[in-house]
Amino acid sequence: MLNSLGREIPEYIEGIGKLEPFQGALMKLGKGWMDEPTIPAPNRAYLPHQSKLCKTLEEAIIRSNPQNGMTVSFHHHLRNGDFLLVQTLTILHNMGIREITLASSSLNECHDPILPYLIDGTVTRIFSSGIRNQLGRAIALGVLETPVVIHSHGGRVRSIHTGKIRIDLAIISASAADCEGNATGSHGKSAFGSIGYAVIDARYAKEVIVVTDNLVDYPCIPLSISQNFIDHVVVVDSIGDASKIATGTTRITKSPMDLRIAKLAADVIEQSGFFVPGFSFQVGAGGASLAVAKFIREKMRNKSIRGSFMLGGITSYCVDMLNDGLFETIFDVQSFDAVVSNSLLNNRRHIEIPAALYANPFNCGCITNKIDVVVLGALEIDVDFNVNVITGSEGYIRGASGGHSDTASGAKLTVVVCPSFRGRIPIIKKRVHTVVTPGETVHVLVTERGICVNPAFKELEENLRRAGLNLKDIHDLEVEVDKITGIPGPLEYTDKIVGIVEYRDGTIIDVIHQLKEK
């Protein structure tokens, strides 16, 4: 069957179940409730003064009663410095546990060592918002029989609520925790800031292990995750590589190309009609996306505009803007720099939020619903403004859905920034390989070669045109770029589906087919 973007979606996939095709960004939300019932969270009981402390991670896992077919969840706040995912799966592998469903909020390069466990059947299913490097390559080439499910950050919460992801064991990394499992990422030698993605895991998993390299006296403050959800506590030498968990501060790119794109994007935001006192703002953590913040900061100072809140993945640059008084508040679901952890700990206007409050579409108001302006990146974008942030030009899985579609669906102004081509590969396509974020939620594309406004947003186009910005039809830009780069030959796929891309409401926006190996 075809979804509303014309993507062929199967009705049923073995190991996944029945699929519902995407029918529009707000189609399901418009009903005012979620069709699927919410499963109850497990209730556990502990005797007074019973110890939760385990000597090793292995002991805690054994106490959690691991079984074949179990689902194990992780959170990705430690980014590329995480030790625990690989350690946990190695322990389970050595115990002979098989057919594990891996439900990590994202997977990074540091998780490459689990590839043998995908090959030997230790891990047979994956739910994640992002997959990269060797894992992404192997999955695209068909290492797993059951397709991986790519969800958004908000969609993951929904999937846990509905029982699509039923977590048997959650591993929660904490840079500080106490003997009862009260835990935080905001201080300690491995501080990583917000622990927002793990809150839902703690609430819904049958067994929860907090792993820390910094056991503090009871109680651990702040209680980012509280003891009433924690079964076991393990103290280890190190939860991760601090140098890869968080760098000191985020530096703005010096790439002339990224800066050029960022400046144009800031001009778009300034002239859009949404750059007004009290506006709310979200930018990514790298490249052109973060550089937009530099130019917006200058424009806010020049025009004496004070914003309401910044949201999402938070960098030191966001903290600087908060401290400069340019924004009232930061809502932080993931922190990128060591400086951010310190701010989170000490500034009451820097607020740690769980993923549900950040982006779950099915509650009475996630914060992405209130965002005015978001700046997002893209691996590809097509002439219908559909965005791919998951598969690369060579067909491998190499990115993350993350909060892309969540924030785009909520923002009054979604600005996608990317170069018009990378190397010799055009980024603007007639049709993207994989849709993650539907074009109906993308307002503007900004490249170094021009600004393209989604024709569905006439008033915005008029505002920008009146301001004298250089607007181009996206079809013209696509042709212009093709003339420079040539048109790459098509990728070759088999009929096998290796990944399904869930939209945040649980419908299927696209599937990823197995890449033919060259």
Partner 1 sequence: MLYIPGNNPAMIQQGGVYGADSILLDLEDAVALNQKDAARVLVRNMIKSVNFYDAEVCVRINHLSTPFGLADLEEIVPLQPSAIRYPKTESPEEVAELLKIIERIEDKHRLPHNKMTLHAMIETAMGVQNVFNIASMFSRVDAITIGGQDLTADMNIIYTPDGVGIDFARKRIVMAAKASHIDVIDTIFPDVNDEEGLRRETEYAKKIGFTGKAVINPRQIDIIHDVFTPTDEEIRKAYHIVKEFQTNTAAGIGVFAIDGKMVDAPVVARAEYILKLANVTVA
Question: Which residues of the chain form contacts with partner 1 (CB under 8 A)?
Answer: 254, 256-257, 259-260, 263, 448-449, 480, 484
User: How many other C-beta atoms lie within 10 A of the C-beta of residue 471?
Assistant: 16
Kindly list the strands in the beta sheet with 428-429, ordered across the sheet, starting from the edge strand earlier in the chain. 387-388, 380-382, 428-429
Q: What CA–CA distance (Å, rounded) separates 509 from 432?
A: 12
Shortest Cβ distance from residue 489 to partner 1 (Å)?
21
Angstrom distance (rounded) from CA 254 to CA 455 = 32
510 in Cβ contact with 501 (< 8 Å): yes
Burial class (CB in 10 A: 0-12, 13-18, 19+), 470: exposed
Question: Minimal distance in Å, beta carbon 260 to partner 1?
Answer: 5
Pairing label, strands 207-212, 327-335: unpaired
Q: Which is nearer to partner 1, 119 or 484 (CB)?
A: 484
Decide whether 1 or 479 has the Cβ nearer to partner 1. 479
In the complex, least distance from residue 388 CB atom to partner 1, rounded to whole angstroms: 23
Rg for the chain (alpha carbons), in Å?
Answer: 22
> Residue 221 or residue 257: which is nearer to partner 1 going by CB?
257
DSSP, res 410: H
Least Cβ distance, residue 268 to partner 1 (angstroms) = 15
Q: How far is the CB of 325 from partner 1 (least distance, A)?
A: 23
Note whether 53 and 233 are within 8 A (CB): yes
The residue (of 4 and 485) whose beta carbon lies closer to partner 1 is 485
Measured from the CB atom, the residue of 244 and 260 that comes closer to partner 1 is 260
Nearer to partner 1, 235 or 252 (CB): 252
Distance CA 328, CA 278 (A): 9
Q: How far is the CB of 255 from partner 1 (least distance, A)?
A: 9
CB-CB contact of 477 with 428 (8 Å): yes
d(CA 229, CA 194): 18
Query: 301: which residues sit within 8 A by CB, 6+ positions away?
Result: 324, 326
> Residue 148: which of 396, 437, 429, 355 has the closest Cα?
396
- Containing 128, the helix (H) or strand (E) segment is strand 123-128
Q: How far apart are CA 346 and CA 357, in angstroms?
A: 21
Nearest to 27 by CA among 510, 453, 512, 508: 508
Q: 């010799």: which residue's tokens?
A: 424
Nearer to partner 1, 267 or 337 (CB): 267
Q: Could you tell me if 80 and 234 are in contact, meaning their C-beta atoms sit under 8 angstroms apart?
A: no
Least distance to partner 1, CB of residue 56, Å: 50
Nearer to partner 1, 214 or 447 (CB): 447
Residue 294 or 431: the one with the smaller Cβ distance to partner 1 is 294
Q: Give CA–CA dist 433/151, Å, rounded.
A: 17
Shortest CB 175 distance to partner 1, Å? 34
Give 487's DSSP letter.
Answer: P
* CB-based burial, 380-405: b 16+ in 10 Å, e otherwise: bbbbbbbbbbbbbbebbbbbbbbbbb
Q: How far apart are CA 76 and CA 212, in angstroms?
A: 15
For residue 263, the minimal CB distance to partner 1 (Å) is 7
Q: What single-letter DSSP state applies at residue 486?
A: -
Q: Residue 260 or residue 370: which is nearer to partner 1 going by CB? A: 260
Q: What is the DSSP string of 297-324?
A: HHHHHHTT--EEEEEEEE-HHHHHHHHT
For residue 472, give the nearest of 388, 375, 383 by alpha carbon: 383
The smaller minimum CB distance to partner 1, of residues 252 and 330, is found at: 252
- Pick between residue 95 and residue 487 the one whose CB is nearest to partner 1: 487
CA atoms within 13 A on the CB side of 466: 10
Closest to partner 1 by CB, 370 or 472: 472
Closest approach, Cβ 447 to partner 1, in A, equals 9
